[in-house]
Every structure is written in structure tokens, then in C-alpha cells.
Amino acid sequence: MDTNDVRKEMQKRVDLLNEASRAYYKENRELMTNFEYDRLYDELEALEKAAGFSLASSPTHNVGYAVAEELPKERHPEKMLSLDKTKSVEELAAFLGDKEGLLSWKMDGLTIVLTFDGGRLVKAVTRGNGEIGEVVTANARTFVNVPVTIPFKGHLVVRGEAFITYSDFEEVNRRIPEASAHYKNPRNLCSGSVRQLDSAVTADRKVHFNAFTLNSVQGEDAPVFTLRSQQMAWLAEQGFEVVYYKKVRAADIPAAVNWFAEAILTNDTPSDGLVITFDDIAYGRSLGVTAKFPRDSLAFKWQDETAETVLRRIEWSPSRTGLINPVAVFDPVELEGSTVSRASVHNLSVMKDLKLGIGDRISVYKANMIIPQIAEDITASGRIDVPQTCPACGGRVEVRRDVDTEELYCLNPACPAKRIKSFALFVSRQALDIEGLSESTLEKLIGRGFVRSYADLFRLDQHKEEIVTMEGLGEKSFANLQRSIDRARTTTCDRLLCGLGIPGIGTANARNISRFCGGRWDRICSLRTEELKEIEGVGEVLAESFTGWFADEQHRRQMEDLLPELTLTAPAETEEQILKGMTFVITGSLEHFANREQLKERLQALGARVSGSVSGRTDYLINNDIQAGSAKNKKAKAEGVPIISEEALLERFPAIKGEE
């Protein structure tokens, strides 16, 4: 794999591991077993060792968060100039002349200068006013994809852009109850996040970094470059994610700009234009600078395309915080190469300021070619009635004023729109496994009042005519969703139990409880506390939580509504529990099983417990590399735990092979 692929593989594992830790420690839920966590952790360590660099957000680094009283200021060695700008494709091509250049995204974030010495990140400074910036080193060490160690051991200074993706920006705003406190755009959020006094806050905001300029490289093994494209390739080898670019000549500019214009429609990275830079470093430097701008680069800014249309209705979209957001629905228009028919209005104050009215002629555009917005209401009739009840639950609503902002809220604490996470768990892979129901789709369906209970998910066909007209849900998507729903109707007790969101009941406990009850639902929901305590992994607190959930009248009605929609399959004939009472740990690659999860399922089917870590209670560590110096092998030897190969395991316990 090349360095970019390696970094992507690292990032994939870092994201999974950090999300699992966040869920476990902050939300009291389990996304993966200890075994799965350890496997990903081991794979990440191996990738880092082979690549010679590691990412700042990697859990292999115990990076403590720092809290500062203030951010120190520091003068840049040389003034950081801004770029001259154009909105003309012709000017962009003329700038390049007969030279070759790099055309890249102009990212909409915060410029940061990183300094490395001895292969480690030692300093990070913001652009500031171009002459003096703020030192944000502790914060930069929490950026999602910044390498905190690199292969090059000399002195390296690199400039790049810190940014927050649109998807992470939306997630941060979703966690803020008051709409008036929402961040206006990813750039504002990024600027505040990078300059936090508490680096834990920065880490929570998922700031990314893309390198775009190699300022300085010094040392015994320092490479010498003649082209910027060579610098970019070398920075990628050091573990940096570099800004995406295309090598172009003047004749290529129109086609390249069109490519970027199409790509920005689905790009998760905020961008407000493009940058052209001469590839030849010496030629670019020979051009010098003006009082304000360097002459080796030029910025290209998008021209916002606007269109007039007619406002047909306002949809009121409830959220998990209780806030009900107005969404404008208008006659479809073409903007920036795609069809647009909806735009968020944000809150009641914006709606009133625009003087929106049904049937009004309005002007719409896409901010930065991505986010649909209403520019103005040309008619400005103001004919819109604010709803008196919540569209998701029919409950009471109220208008709240915060400073100069008015917002509409649902007052019902049991509103299904406030329980998005519980519905997301119910349809997740480990539960009912209904493909096509992302959180955003669930939010739309709940907001329109189509889904108020788990059972309603199996009755969506009653609302087909309306659903297929919703954004992102056409005839084909609905057909695929319906097939997935029909498949999910036939399920097992442990999957259903896992999906109900009973505190402490994840996949392992759900499986153990179902097995204890012979896969009979009537037996499961009538379990007594003392019976539950006989089941492996269930203690006093968990048992009381379980019985309390089923004793709740609302939950009982919910299950009475849901069960007729499902077919709970009879359990497979239980195999003899020859491994009951034994604990195994699995590590390394396997030869006789497709993956470790498959072997784990076989061991559990025979009554064994499979743990993710070795302890004195472990009976066997399964590892095909018995002589490896891994942490698990060392722990097993220290605890006197036998280490056996997969082959030896199957010889000792032939039943694990199962049926051929």
C-alpha cells in the first residue's frame, strides 16, 4: 500500500476505536467487544510501526489534554500573506501562462503552521493577523489526522489548513439545544475549536488538517525539491494528509474547474474556492511579492448562482432537543449542477425577517455551492401560520425567545423525535439490521409523523406516496428499504432484545439471556431478578434494570404493538455445552476460520466465554504465533495461561469444527 492508503487504513481504525471508547465511557453502551477492540488496536500499532508515523488522534498515544489560562502569541519568521483573488476562469488560465501549476481546493478553515523536530510535533501556531499568531500546540496534538510523529528526524515546518467537515459540524450543532447558539458555519466552529484553552474541547470537535505548503526542511537527510508536487508527495510519505490537487496547464483549467465544481457538491470538506500555484518552485519565488500578495499563487472564488422560484410550503422538522426547525419547500430549480427544492430557514426569527409566505416568489442560492439558502423573499407577504402542535407526536409546543431569536419547541418529553438514538439502535446491524435507515432518514420520517414507535417502522408502506417525494427517498430507495424491512420481520430473540436499548443489555448479554430461556420470548420478558442473576454476565444491578424495563406499562404496550409485526424464529438446537465455564482469548490471524468473530461464535455456541484480554481467569490464549513477543503472549506467560495454536485447539476440542 502507498502512504495515502496506509494513512486511510490507520484513520479507519482510529475512528472505530475512538468511537467505541466514546460510547463505552461517555454513553454507557458497547459498540464492540474487548476482543474486537484489541484486534483493531493491534492492527493500528502494526500499521504505525511499518509506516513510521502515527496520527494525533490515535489511541496508541496517551495524549493528555491541556488547559491553558491564555494562548501565548508568537511572531512568524516571515509575514504570511493572503492571496489575490479572481472569479474569472479566463484570468485563472492567463495567470498560469505557459507554465505548469497545481490547482487545489481553497479550504475554508484556519491556517496553521506546524513545526517538527526530531520526528515529533513540537509547535503549532495559527496564522493570526499574518505577522503574529497564537500558539496552539496542545490543541493541534488532538487534531484527527495530524501526525504527531513522522519518519523525518530533522527540522520541518509545514503550513496547512485546519477544518471541520460538514458532517461533524452538523453533529456539533445537533448537540446544542438552543438554535440561537448554533454555529453558523464550519469555519466559525473550527476557528473557535482550534483556539480553545482546553484541548479536550478541541479533541471533541474533530478538527482535521490538510498540508498545502512545505515552508522549511533542514537536517542531515533533508531532501531537495525543484517542484511543489514533489514536496506534496514527500509530505504525504511523512504521514500528512495533503490538500487534493490536480496538475494543470492553461488549456486544462476550464475542464479542471468544472471537475472541482461538480466535486464540491458532495465534498464533506468546506471549501470557498480554488488555488492555483506554479509547480516550479524557483520560478514562483523569482516572481517575488507585492505589498499584500505573493505572485506565485492566485485564489479563485466561486460565483454564487441564484435562481427564482415559488415557496409552496413550510415543513416543521422536530429534532432530538425538542427544537422544531422550519424548512422551506419550493418549486425545484437547478443550482450549481443539481436540482434543489428545500432549504433550512433555521428558526422563527429568520422566517419573520424574510417575511416568508406561502406562494411567495423567492430567490435561492447555494452557499459555497453546497448548502441551499434563501437569499430574499421578493413578494414578502408574511403569510405563514406557526403550528400549535408538534408534527412528530401531536404534543404541545411553545415559542421561546433567547435574546433576539425566536424558536419553536415541543414540550412532550416522550416525543419520538427526541429518541433518534434509540431508533438508530433498534435498526442497527446487531439488532434488527434494517438497511437504509440512517439517523438522518429516521429524523425525516419521525419529523413527518410517520414513525412514532418501533412498530411503525414496519408500516411505512402506508405512507409510501409521501415518503417517495421526500429528499433522498425516491421510488428505488423506498423499494430497497421495504425489502430490508421485510427481511427484518423474521429475527431472533437476542437481536430483538439487543435492539430495545435496555441499559446494560448488549449483544453478549442478549445472547446469554436468550440461550438461558431457550429462545422463547414469553420466557424472556417474564424473567425474575433471581433467575437473571444465574445467567453469566448478569449481576444484581443489571437484573433489576432488566425486570424494571419489562415492568414499565409503556414498554409493555410498546411490545404488544411490535410483536405482531415480527416472526421470532425458533432457536437452533442447542449444542452440548462442552466448554461451559471456560474462558478463551483469541489473538492473531487464523487459518481454519474466516475471522476471529467466526471462531468466537463457535466457542460461545459450546458454552465458552470469550474475553478480549488475558487474566488469571483465562483458560487458553489462542495464538498461531506462540513464540511472538506480543503483549498478550507476555501476559499469558506471566499468568501461567497456556498458549495454544488453532490446530492444537481443534485437536483438543474437535466439536469446535462444527459440521463440515
**Residues that are catalytic:** 106
- How far is residue 365 CA from its own chain's centroid? 27
Torsion sign across C-alpha atoms 90, 95, 101, 106: negative
Find, among 381, 344, 351, 346, the residue nearest to 366 by Cα.
344
Find, among 181, 75, 178, 176, the residue nearest to 131 by Cα.
75
Spell out a b/e string for 277-307, using b for 16 or more CB atoms within 10 Å of the CB, else e: bbbbbeebeeeeeeeeebebbbbbebeeeeb
Which ranges of 580-626 would DSSP assign to H, the alpha helix? Answer: 596-605
Find, among 470, 428, 468, 431, the residue nearest to 447 by Cα.
470
Which ranges of 528-595 would DSSP assign to H, the alpha helix? Answer: 529-532, 540-551, 553-562
Q: What is the Cα–Cα distance from 123 to 566, expressed in whole angstroms?
A: 58
Torsion sign across C-alpha atoms 643, 645, 650, 652: negative
H or E element in which residue 444 lies: helix 439-447
Q: Which residue has the cell 477544518?
A: 163
In total, the chain counts a number of residues equal to: 660
Pairing of strands 490-491, 620-622: unpaired
Dig out the grid coordinates for 449 from the structure. Answer: 409523523
- How many helices, marked H, and strands, marked E, lie in the chain? 24, 26
Q: What is the Cα–Cα distance from 257 to 263, expressed in whole angstroms?
A: 10
Single-letter code of the amino acid located at 448: R
Q: Is 307 helix (H, G, I), strand (E, B) or coil?
A: strand
The DSSP secondary structure of 472-505, one letter per residue, reads T--HHHHHHHHHHHHHHTEE-HHHHHHHTT-TT-
Dig out the grid coordinates for 56 from the structure. Answer: 494525533
Torsion sign across C-alpha atoms 156, 232, 303, 193: negative
Q: What does the DSSP 8-state code read for residue 61?
A: S
Dig out the grid coordinates for 134 from the structure. Answer: 497564537
Q: What is the Cα–Cα distance from 65 to 199, expressed in whole angstroms?
A: 5
Single-letter code of the amino acid located at 410: C
Torsion sign across C-alpha atoms 22, 27, 33, 35: positive
The DSSP secondary structure of 87-140, one letter per residue, reads --HHHHHHHHTTS-EEEEEEESSEEEEEEEETTEEEEEEE-TTSSEEEB-HHHH
Q: What is the Cα–Cα distance from 240 to 117, expressed in whole angstroms?
A: 15
Q: What is the Cα–Cα distance from 272 to 299, expressed in whole angstroms?
A: 10
Find, among 635, 631, 634, the residue nearest to 39 by Cα.
631
Burial class (CB in 10 A: 0-12, 13-18, 19+), 67: exposed
Q: What is the Cα–Cα distance from 258 to 246, expressed in whole angstroms?
A: 12
